[in-house]
Amino acid sequence: MQKTLVLGSTSPFRKELLERFRLDFIVDSPDIDETPLANEIPEDYVLRLSLEKAKAVAKRQPDSLIIASDQCSILNGVIRGKPENHENAIKQLTESSGQCVSFLTGLCLFDSSDDSYQLDLIPYFVDFRDLSATEIEAYLHAEEPYFCAGSFKSEGLGVTLFKSMRGDDPTSLIGLPLIRLAEMLREKKISLP
């Protein structure tokens, strides 16, 4: 009997990415506290949250494979979360202007039948152009990326803010690293085309 595949996220972006695999899955919200711990480094932060999200969903989803991920952006060693509003997005994009911003995405595939899991960290780097206040305002009004790490949607107009992008998996920048997830699923004998 095949296990139920569960996406432990309410993100429409992650759901859309997972749909590319053409697998049946359900969605369940992890609903956890995402506050960083004192002195927690970014790498540990996204790995911890990815695992905690998966474990939270696993409590409600027996005999399932739970996919959970978390992402943060980092500028000058400081974790930056989702802006959540226009003013914070202006601040984030202004700080990102002309800078290289790192994006770390934690990914967990958790088997609730035996509490085993695979956990990995996927980095991605974005070099921003020098952005004017007018460009920032115009972009934010066009896409309103207030619930996206870094205050942009790379799959949309956000790409116009960049000078370059570097990393092994561009889907990690959107929040669900499909290349690594495919490897994890194959390890659990899930067939992919």
pLDDT in tens, 147-167: 888 899 888 899 999 999 999
Q: Which domains does the chain have, with CATH numbers?
A: 4-187 (3.90.950.10)
The identity of residue 94, as a single letter, is T
Intra-chain end-to-end CA distance of the chain, in Å = 20
Annotated catalytic residue within 31, 70, 127, 169: 70
The identity of residue 67, as a single letter, is I
Instruction: Specify the pTM.
Output: 0.90
pLDDT tens across 68-78, in order?
A: 999 999 998 88
Cβ neighbors of 156 (< 8 A, separation 6 or more) are 143, 145
Q: Is 120 an active-site residue?
A: no
Both tokens of 117, joined, read 């899991």
Report, in this order, helix, strand and coil percent for the chain, each rounded to 5. Answer: 35, 25, 40
Confidence of residue 192 (pLDDT cuts 50, 70, 90): confident
